[in-house]
């Protein structure tokens, strides 16, 4: 038995306290969700008492399951639709914006960069209320519903690809582009054939990030949804969570979780394939992929 002083001075003792906190935190953060997923397979109506395993709430129940209930699968489709459409517009917009801002020097681009960063950290509810006011008080050809939701989501998300791409541009540095131009490439040619391929990992990572973030969004899509038909999953959960829902709601949330996890896992594997042999992103692994730049 060693004395406490030896123990204290041992630089190689395992950090038991930190291990304990980390394990406790992980259990606390993931177990509730795991339990919610588990109860989506419950055979009865209860979300608190286990009554046997079944797929009743996915497709078994003829009226209330996700597959058969219109309201529920409309929500899921709306979520996926918003995710795809928003991502397809946001990423090119943000990437072009980032490249332009990075190279163009002056007050206007500096101000635009500042605005972009503000939109990155602004509490979402402020932007949501502001956009709601615009659409409800001004006679615009845009009405509440999918279009308004997409516009709001793009505004909120465009900073993601912009921030990631700018960080990547800073790592790449000017030398490759200069070399290409010394060898006779035009400015656009160098951009298209040198810089864009080097940016691909960052562009791809931001695509997955934006998609996963959009299908998770709640505040903007709730205010800008016109009626029940354009309410995505998150709003559905919010509306019914306190009103004695069936485990079909758990099933709906589980399906959304599955969509997000699939996107992220596939995305991560592709990202690792894309960055193989790339020294600047080496051993960043999954961290680089989570928006850590």
Query: Which tokens hold the place of 252?
Result: 């709906």
Q: Report the alpha-carbon distance of residue 37 to residue 250 in Å, rounded.
A: 6
Residue count at the site for other proteins (CB under 8 A)? 100
Among 1, 121, 139, 183, binds other proteins (CB under 8 A): 121
DSSP letters, 8-46, are HH-TTS--HHHHHHHHHHHHHHHHHHHHHHHHTTBSSS-
189 binds other proteins (CB under 8 A): no
CB of 67 vs other proteins, minimal distance in Å? 19
Cβ count within 10 A of residue 164? 27
Q: Report the alpha-carbon distance of residue 9 to residue 227 in Å, rounded.
A: 65
123 binds other proteins (CB under 8 A): yes
* CA-to-CA dists, residue 164 to 62, 195, 217, 291, angstroms: 46, 14, 20, 7
Among 62, 84, 125, 228, binds other proteins (CB under 8 A): 125
Among 85, 127, 185, 274, binds other proteins (CB under 8 A): 127
5 binds other proteins (CB under 8 A): no
Residues 253-292 that bind other proteins (CB under 8 A): 253, 256-257, 260-261, 264, 285-287, 290-292
Site string (36-65) toward other proteins, x via CB under 8 A: x--x-------xxx----------------
Q: Give Cβ neighbours of residue 211 (< 8 Å, ≥ 6 apart).
A: 83, 84, 86, 87, 263
- Which one of the spans 55-63, 69-77, 104-112, 271-279 is the region binding other proteins (CB under 8 A)? 104-112
- Which one of the spans 55-63, 64-72, 164-172, 269-277 is the region binding other proteins (CB under 8 A)? 164-172
CB of 239 vs other proteins, minimal distance in Å? 10
228 binds other proteins (CB under 8 A): no
Query: Which tokens hold the place of 85?
Result: 């459409």
Query: Which tokens hold the place of 105?
Result: 């020097």
């Amino acid at each position: 038995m060693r004395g406490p002083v030896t123990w204290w001075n041992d630089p190689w003792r395992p950090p038991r306290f930190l291990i304990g906190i980390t394990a406790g935190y992980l259990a606390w953060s993931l177990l509730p969700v795991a339990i919610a997923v588990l109860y989506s397979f419950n055979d009865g109506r209860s979300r608190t008492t286990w009554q046997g395993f079944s797929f009743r709430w996915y497709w078994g129940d003829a009226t209330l399951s996700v597959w058969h209930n219109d309201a529920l699968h409309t929500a899921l489709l709306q979520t996926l639709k918003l995710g795809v459409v928003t991502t397809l517009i946001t990423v090119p917009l943000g990437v072009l914006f980032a490249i332009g801002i990075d190279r163009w020097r002056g007050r206007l681009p500096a101000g635009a960069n500042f605005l972009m960063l503000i939109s990155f950290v602004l509490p979402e509810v402020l932007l949501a209320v502001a956009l709601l006011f615009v659409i409800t008080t001004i006679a615009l050809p845009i009405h509440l519903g999918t279009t308004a939701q997409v516009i709001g989501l793009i505004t909120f998300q465009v900073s993601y690809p912009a921030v990631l791409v700018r960080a990547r541009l800073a790592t790449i540095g000017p030398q490759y582009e200069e070399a290409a131009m010394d060898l006779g490439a035009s400015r656009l040619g160098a951009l298209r054939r040198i810089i864009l391929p080097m940016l691909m990992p960052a562009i791809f990572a931001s695509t997955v990030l934006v998609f996963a973030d959009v299908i998770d969004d709640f505040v903007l899509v709730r205010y800008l949804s016109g009626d029940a038909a354009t309410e995505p999953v998150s709003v559905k959960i919010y509306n019914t969570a306190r009103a004695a829902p069936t485990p079909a709601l758990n099933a709906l949330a589980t399906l959304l979780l599955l969509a997000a996890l699939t996107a992220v896992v596939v995305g991560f594997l592709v990202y690792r394939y894309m960055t193989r042999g790339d020294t600047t992103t080496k051993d960043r692994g999954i961290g680089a992929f989570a928006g850590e730049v």
